[in-house]
Amino acid sequence: MVDKIQMIGTAFLPIDKSNKKILVSKRSMNKKYFPGYWEVIGGNLEFGEDFTDCVIREVKEEINCNIKNLTHLHSRTMYLNDLMYITVAYYGEILEEPVFNKNEISEIKWITENEIDDFEFCPGDVELLKIGFKSIK
């Protein structure tokens, strides 16, 4: 069954509590899967890495930020095209202005809960965003 696992990884929702916003990113058009779709920050777990280390590394690689108040948000298993995706999601605050990695991301935007439907998100990310917005109310 292990050959059916496509991804084990993390997601991170940078939150702006005072404005009730979450930072999302638009995938670069050179990405193999879901090019040009919007998503939450995150990526694949590397061998030997724990989930916390993975989320810290991915945030640094994708938006060049450090995190404070890292909090577990949700864990999920999703099935898509006969493959399994395991994601451990967190939320927290970023300490710097984000500067995105142009190889990974083409755009970033702080959004409100009412704006979720204005974007085409990768599968499963709307669910994470809705859970994330509940956490900052």
How high is the pLDDT of residue 114? Answer: 97
Q: State how far Cα 74 lies from the chain centre.
A: 12
Contact 25, 107 (CB under 8 A): yes
Between 1-15, 87-101, 111-125, the lowest mean confidence (pLDDT) is in 1-15
DSSP-assigned states of every residue in 25-81? EEEPTT-SSSTT-EE-EEEEPPTT--HHHHHHHHHHHHH---EEEEEEEEEEEEEET
Pairing outcome for strands 41-44 and 5-16 = antiparallel
The stretch 108-122 carries a mean pLDDT of 97
Res 76: pLDDT: 92
Residue 1 has pLDDT above 80, yes or no: no
Q: What is the mean pLDDT of residues 99-125?
A: 96
pLDDT band with cut points at 50, 70 and 90 for residue 73: very high
pLDDT in tens, 44-57: 999 999 999 999 99
Residue 17 DSSP code: T
- Domain spans of the chain? 2-135
Instruction: Assign 88 a pLDDT band (cuts: 50, 70, 90).
Output: very high
CATH architecture of 2-135: Alpha-Beta Complex (3.90)
CB count in 10 Å sphere of residue 92: 19
Q: Which residue has the higher pLDDT, 136 or 91?
A: 91
